[in-house]
Structures are given as C-alpha cells and as structure tokens.
Amino acid sequence: MGSVESFSDGFSIPDERADYWARAAIVGRAWAAAVTRGEDATQLQATAAEVLAQIQPLEGFFAFPGPRLMHLVQQRLLSVDAAGFALAQRINGGLASGAYRHDTAMWEPGEEVDDSLSEYLPPALDGHREYRPYFEVLAVAAMDPAHAEQNRRELRRLRRDDDPFTYEVLHVNSFEDAILAVLANPDLQSIIIGDGFGFRSHHETSGLRDALARAIPFDPQSLDVREYGLKLAGIVKKLRPELDVYFPDRARAGAARGA
C-alpha cells in the first residue's frame, strides 16, 4: 500500500499516483496483447486488479478521472474485458500530459487510445498551443454521487471560449475526506463548505488514518455537528493558507471572517 503511506511525505501523492496509473497502463496493454494471442492472461488480469486496488483509495481526492470513468475501469476489469481496460491507458495519457485540463473529451468514455508522443508531452512542449490556467474547486457537502457528477458535467457544458480559466469541481461528503483532499491535491485553489456533511471518511487505510491523526489534533467527539464548517475552514487555512474558503451560508461566512 505504498501510495497511501506516502501521505507522510507531503505532496509526493501526485507522483505516486502517476506511477500507479503508468503501471496500470503497461499491465493493461500486456493483458490485451496476451488475450489477442490466445494466451492465458489470468496473472496479468490479477496484476491489473492489484494495481487498480492501490489507485482507488486516492482517486476520491482528485477531479480527474472522476467517479464515472473509475467505475467504468473497474467494471471492465471485473468483466474480464482486456480491450475495454484500455481506458486505463487513456487516463494515464491524460494525467501524464495534463490533457484533461483542457480537453473535455478526456472526461468521456472512449475506445481509441492515442499513444503518440504528443499525448505525453506537457502543454509547453506540445506545439505552440496555449491553454487557459486550470484549477480545481473542492465542494464539501452532503450530495448523492450521481447528482454531484451531473452537476460537474453541467458546469463543463457552461464553459465559454472567452473564459480566462478552466476549473473542475471535486466533491466530498465528509470532514475527513476534505482534509485528505487538501493534503493530497495541489491543483486545489478554493474550497466551498456547504451543509449536511458528515465527519468520518470511509477510508480506513493506515496511511490515510495516520495523516488524519496529524492534521486533526482534537477529539472529533468534542465537536458539535454545527461547528464542522468553521472548524474545517480553520484547519484548511493552517494546512494550505493559499486556498480561498467560501461559505454559501452568509452567516457562517461572516463568522469565519471574524474568527
């Protein structure tokens, strides 16, 4: 479980995550080739499952590839669809090149995989194209995952060619998941703290739990649910002072400014 343990190393999480996606792409390609040749690919499928299991605890803290594509990758693995697992290669290419920051097609399922060099070059080296700055917004609120994904797609459709920047919304529904996202995701620029979210993350991996113990130096039982928002804002500002914090509730926004 090396990837989650590296929370103790600060912002090494994006690099560790990229390494695991690269492994998933390599194993997926080998799996598909073995199936095409009519060879026994059982071990390659098992290796793909192991790598995906190492990736999944972290994916809830990044906007791309998002729940929709992650679900598809998992389904294609479970259905022993070696060709369909090529989606992992598309995701890896998007992460390696940063293409997901400007290409909306990267967020949609697709069967074709472009292995050209340009897919793996950062934008500065990929011709002379210029792209708008990209960042992610963390939304903390009680929301059904399907509804959250629908909102994200609607916001994507509202983009205009003259927008000065591009952003994606990352949704979490617990206090602890918000802290983990702040620790893991350097693309975050702002956080919107809503209502109704719980406290505890469903992640029980030791590396994540250790990170939370260091970041939350108080007894959660001593905190009233009505105080979650303000307490979360205070911790976020200590961990990442550069992040902008917003409250849809004006009264709590005023309380946060006065704190």
Question: Structure tokens of 33?
Answer: 């080739």
In this structure, the answer to whether residues 188 and 107 fall within a common structural domain is: no
Per the prediction, the chain carries an average pLDDT of 85
Least confident of 10-24, 60-74, 86-100, 107-121: 107-121
Q: What percent of the chain has pLDDT over 90?
A: 56
CATH number at residue 248: 3.40.50
Task: Note down the domain range covering 202.
Answer: 134-258
pLDDT in tens, 196-255: 999 999 887 778 888 888 888 888 888 899 899 999 999 999 999 999 999 987 545 555
Q: What is the pTM of this model?
A: 0.83
In this structure, the answer to whether residues 249 and 178 fall within a common structural domain is: yes
In this structure, the answer to whether residues 147 and 244 fall within a common structural domain is: yes
In this prediction, residue 177 carries a pLDDT of: 95
Question: 125, 154, 170 — which closes off a domain?
Answer: 125
pLDDT in tens, 87-144: 999 999 999 999 999 888 898 886 554 544 444 455 555 555 677 899 999 999 998 8
Question: 101, 125, 149 — which closes off a domain?
Answer: 125
In this structure, the answer to whether residues 142 and 253 fall within a common structural domain is: yes
Q: Helical H runs in the chain?
A: 2-5, 13-36, 42-59, 66-78, 87-97, 145-157, 175-184, 206-215, 228-239, 250-258
Residue 13: pLDDT band with limits 50, 70, 90: confident
In this structure, the answer to whether residues 161 and 74 fall within a common structural domain is: no
In this structure, the answer to whether residues 162 and 116 fall within a common structural domain is: no
In this structure, the answer to whether residues 160 and 78 fall within a common structural domain is: no
C-alpha to C-alpha distance for 28 and 52, rounded to whole angstroms = 11
Cα angle vertex 165, ends 159, 89, to 5°?
80
In this prediction, residue 219 carries a pLDDT of: 85
| Structural domains of the chain, count | 2
In this structure, the answer to whether residues 81 and 44 fall within a common structural domain is: yes
